[in-house]
Each structure stands twice: as structure tokens, then as C-alpha cells.
A and B are shown apart, each in its own frame.
Chain A
Amino acid sequence: MPRFVLWIWKVCAIHFAIGMAAYLHFLITGSYRYVTWYFLILGTLFFLLTTAAEFCLALECRAGFEADEPMRMAWSFIALSSLARFVAAAMVSLDHWRGTSLPADIPSVLAVVFPRGLAQAGEVVGGPLSMIFLVVALSRVLQVQHRFGVLRGLTRTDFLLIGLIGAFTVGEIANIVGYLGPSYPTPSLTKAILWLSDPLLAVLLVQAVMIRRSVIRVGLGLVSQCWEMYVIAIVTTLAGDASIWALGVGLLSQPLIVLTWYIWFFAAAAYASAPAYQLAAMTLPHIPERAMRRR
């Protein structure tokens, strides 16, 4: 396993272990105290760290390709997507601290500096905007894979999955159109943009199905593991999204609701690991034979 990937998952494992300790405390005592601290401080730090790492690694990958190479554009958009998620994590956390008052009911300095609605803007930047960047990047990757015959061999199950996702997207779009009717109030711009999250996630899922097939075709290697990580990240994001939906319709008990919040850490770690694999593949030929044997 490449060094950076190992680091990312080690940090994720330690972070998760601390989170589980906080969760156990919550289960035993019923108090949200430590769980809240964990998600607000360590959780935010983890998101900032992983998205920053992903951004830097994606920039390094981009630099490995020359201007006329097709994968350069893909890595430019992946870098933009990770930057959007980093900015979103920063905005959401700043909004939280903006709302926190000092003991004597004196408003926080951040409340004066930062405008209201920072969290909603963060949701837009980290949600639909970062997804659009990722869709563009993965489209380019699929285009290159198709050109080299890597993308052949989609099975019936793949087509069935793509069909199901397509049907789900059409249903979602029909729902959105329904909400635009005269019986509903006009949605705010932020809300309208956030509605795009599910259709965009569906597009990402279709891309993930296709990329997964290409990964199966070429077998495990550093580059294929990079794309496999994106598949894992997208599927984990879907799981997180599904848990939000389940929460909305009241399907989850309180302990389960808290447990679903941990899903997002795995998605963030998978997103950060992907460029780390690509960078490992690109730097491997530069590593001396002796050092490679030692690994």
C-alpha cells in the first residue's frame, strides 16, 4: 500500500476509534456531550485535513501530466472538487462557531465577521458544486478508458444497475417538478440548487458502475485502485445520503442516527486515498530499484 494511503487510513482508524469511544459513552450515559465535541472539533479537523490532503495530492497528480494530455483536465477538476469540499467544511464549521455565543451572551466575533447562511452556502459548495466538478472529471476518465478499450465488457447486471439509477433519477426529477407547482411556495435559490444533489449523485453512481467494470477488467494495480477508491467514495456518499433520507422519514432510532454520522469520515478518507494511489503510480518509475525491493 502506498505511504500516503497508509497514513490516510491510519488517521481514519485512530479518528474512528476515538469516535467509537465517544459513541459508547453516549450509549451508556445517554449524554451527547462527548459525541458533540467529537463531531464538532475532531470531525471538522478530520474533514479539513482529508480534503486538504486530497486537494494537494490531486494538484500533484495534475502536475504530472503535460498541458496537452487528456488526464490533466480530469485531475484539474478532481482538484476543484476537493477544494470545494474543503471550502464547504470550513464554511460549515465557521457557521457553527459564528452561532456560538460567549458566556455573558456576548455574540462571537465570528458572528460579526461572517454572514448568516454560511452553512447553507457550504452545503451548496460541498454538495452539488463539488459533484459537478467530479462528474466532469470522471467523464473525462471514462472517455480515456473507452479510447483504450478499458471500458469494454459492461455486464447485464451493470446495465440493470444503470437502469435502476436512471429510473430513480427520473422519479427524483418528477418530485422536484412537483414541488415547483403552484401549491408550493417558490423555493430559495440555495434550496433549488440543493435539489440537484440526488440527480448528480445518480450520474456519479452510473459513472461508478462503469469505472468499477473497467477496474475489474484491468485488475488490481495502483491506477485501478485510484478509480476503485472513487467508486467506494461515491457508494459511501450514497449510503450517507440514504441515511439522511431514512432520518427524514423516521426510520432510524436515536442511537442509529448518531452511528450514521460516521459514514462521512470513510467517504472523506476514500476520496483522499484516490489521488494518493495515482501519485504512487506516477512516482513509482522514479524510485530506485533498491528502494522498491525494500518496500
Chain B
Amino acid sequence: MPASTPASATADRPAARRGAWRQLRHSPTGIAGLALTVGVVVAGTLAGSLAPSDPFTTVGPPLRGPSAAHLMGTDDLGRDVLSGVLHGLRTSTIVAAVAVLLAGVIGVVVGAVAGYRGGRVDDVLMRVTEVFQACPRFFLAIVAVALLGAGLGIVILVLGFTSWPVLARVVRAEALSLREREFVEAAKALGASDGRVLVRHVLPSVLPAAWVMISLLAASVILLEASLSYLGLGDPNVMSLGYLANNAQGFMRTAWWMAVFPGLAIVVAVLGLSLVSDAVGDVLNPFRSGRRAEEAAAVPGAEPAGRLDR
């Protein structure tokens, strides 16, 4: 029997699950992405002790360029830009983590159930998914903040509850293909309940594909949060990269560092997550670009590959 033909039901599981990390280690872009992401998370988590000063406190003369005392310069109120960037990364990390956790749970559950059950359940769940997908997240967040007040919690809830549809679609497609596979049928033949098959067999197998989407979602959530605070709609009590960029707008001529460093921090955070997503995707499916193009052609109105509405 050729090696590519699965000999048993277990071997039929997507090969990607085994050794995905090992393969990821050999992808230079994956390593770079992982390093950037870990760096951002560490910087954000330890912002309190890493930052030279409180991001809202005046600590030096206003509008001074980068120097040994203030590595990223000071803003119009003499606040340390580096401290602002670190605390901004903390906010980005928190928003991305909680919103993506919310979206991840909803998306994986909806997608797995829809794909695994199929039929009417699938139809209904996919219609609901479409409604949520059509809702422009950015504008909904603006309206919610305007009506309910500018708070980090509201931003997180809105982004979490509106970010799951793409994930649900990816997981559904994966679960749909698993439904007919031998290891799932074997489990059913052994008398496992639907719930057990879902949790023990379908979920672990759809997770790798979900990760590709989840890191992209985190990237888009970071961009959305920054964009909202750039428009002045962020939580006024919390430092944010978008707030820093907004503040810089009035000093473009005199203090380039106020705009450049917060922007670079966003780029680093989003780039890291995108690289991780790309690398995981490549490991899962070496022919991805081709397959994705085909998928996009097969489904009218399908989500553009690897790209999310900000």
C-alpha cells in the first residue's frame, strides 16, 4: 500500500495536526511572525514595568525629538511617547485577546455544528452568519460607542460579536469535509453520540484551519481598535496607539516622532500576526494559493482569501 493511502482510521486525520509546530520552525517568515507577536504580547503585558513613566503624566519638556532620556521623544504635553506606545500595545493586546476569544468560541461552535450537522441546521446557521457578515463592523462600533459611551468593554464586545462569521465559514467548510471521513464514521459506528464526535473528533481537526483565521482576526481587531481611537472614539481613560496617532495629527510639521512610532507599533503587531497566519496556512496546505483561488471561484460572494474587512 502506498504511503499516501491511510492505512487506518486514525491515519486519515489531517496530517497537518502532527508536526505542524515542527514544520513551522522551518519557516523563516513564520519564526519572524511568531517573534514579533510574542514581542508585542510581552511588551504589552509588561507595559507597567517596562514603560519609563506613566503614559498620561508630563515628564519632560514638550515636543522634544528622540533622545537618550526619551527614546521616542515627547508629545505636546511633555509625555513620554515610548510609555504611550507600550501602554498602547497593552490595550491592543487586551482588546485583541478578549474579542478574538469571544469570536473564536462563537465561530468555531457555529461552524463546527453547521458543517457537521448539515441540512436545515446548516441552512439556518449560515443565513444568520450572512446577516452578521454583512454588518460593517467598523460602522457598528462607531454607532455603539456613540450611543452607549466610549469604553473599552463596548469596543471589545462589538468587535467580538461581529468578527466570528469568517471563522465560522472556514470551520464549517472544514467540518463538512470531515463528516464523511473514515475516522468520524468509525467513531459513529462505535456508538459515539453526536456531541462526543463533535468535541473529540471534529473540533481537534478543524482547529488548525481555525488558527489561520484567528490570527488574521486578531490582526484586524487591532487595526479596528486603533482606527476607532484614531477617530477619537476610544476609551478616554485608556492609552491607545490610535489615540497617539490622533494626537500627532496636529503636530505633523513639528513632531514627526509623535506619528511615526505609534504607527510603526501597529504595523509590527499586525505584520507579526499576518506572518503567523500565512505560515500556519502554508504548513496546512502547501498548495494553498491555488486551492483558495479555486474556492473563491466556486462560491459566489465568498470571502476574499486571507483578507478581512477592517
Mutual binders A and B: no
Residue numbers of B with Cβ under 8 A of A are: none
- Which residues of chain A have a CB within 8 Å of any CB of chain B? none
